Amino acid sequence: QVKPQFESRVNETYGIFQAIVYRTQVVAGINYFIKVQVSDSMYVHLRVFESLPHENQGPSLVSYQTGKTRDDPLTYF
């Protein structure tokens, strides 16, 4: 759901956009930290916030890190 948000921020389009692993953090909603494969050897880390259900808002891309590898740890950023 956040692929278009990410692509518009980095001004690129990706044919591959596959979530590999994720972690969650409960706040006033949920922060998702997601490792996403965007090419054979390139990965990005996304921080996505999903508000509480009664707020009727979809997930939003808060932050991202590019230039990651499959082995980079998924940590808070």
Element (H, E) at 37: strand 29-37
29 contacts 50 by C-beta, under 8 angstroms: yes
Q: Which two tokens stand for residue 42?
A: 């390139």
Domain edges within the chain:
1-68
Q: Which two tokens stand for residue 7?
A: 């692509």
pLDDT of residue 57: 85
For residue range 22-65, what is the model confidence (pLDDT) as tens digits?
Answer: 999 999 899 999 999 999 999 999 999 999 888 888 899 999 99
Q: Is the pTM value of this prediction over 0.85?
A: yes
- Residue 8 dihedral angles phi and psi, to the nearest 5°: -70, -35
